[in-house]
Amino acid sequence: MSDLSLLFATDPLELTTEQLDQIITEMRAARTRFNLGASVAAKPPRKPSTLKPDLSLSLKLDF
């Protein structure tokens, strides 16, 4: 059982201030992870660099 699951399984009236803060901190961390994931997913894909002509390759092909 994870720390968070243990906290949710504890009688809420017995939770200390530190334990309540731990729950809130865990929830905020989950939000940060979610927002980070969402912003990465929203970024446009990088342009493929292979569109640039490769001079060295064409020189090689000339031979």
Q: Which helix (H) or strand (E) element contains residue 55?
A: helix 55-62
User: Which one among 3, 28, 36, 54 touches another protein, defined by CB under 8 A?
Assistant: 28
Of 16, 30, 22, 17, the closest CA to residue 4 belongs to 22
Which listed residue (1, 3, 6, 13) binds another protein by CB under 8 A?
Answer: 13
Q: Is 36 in the site for another protein (CB under 8 A)?
A: no
**In whole angstroms, what is the distance from residue 46 CA to residue 14 CA?**
51
| Shortest CB 31 distance to another protein, Å | 5
Among 3, 6, 27, 36, binds another protein (CB under 8 A): 27
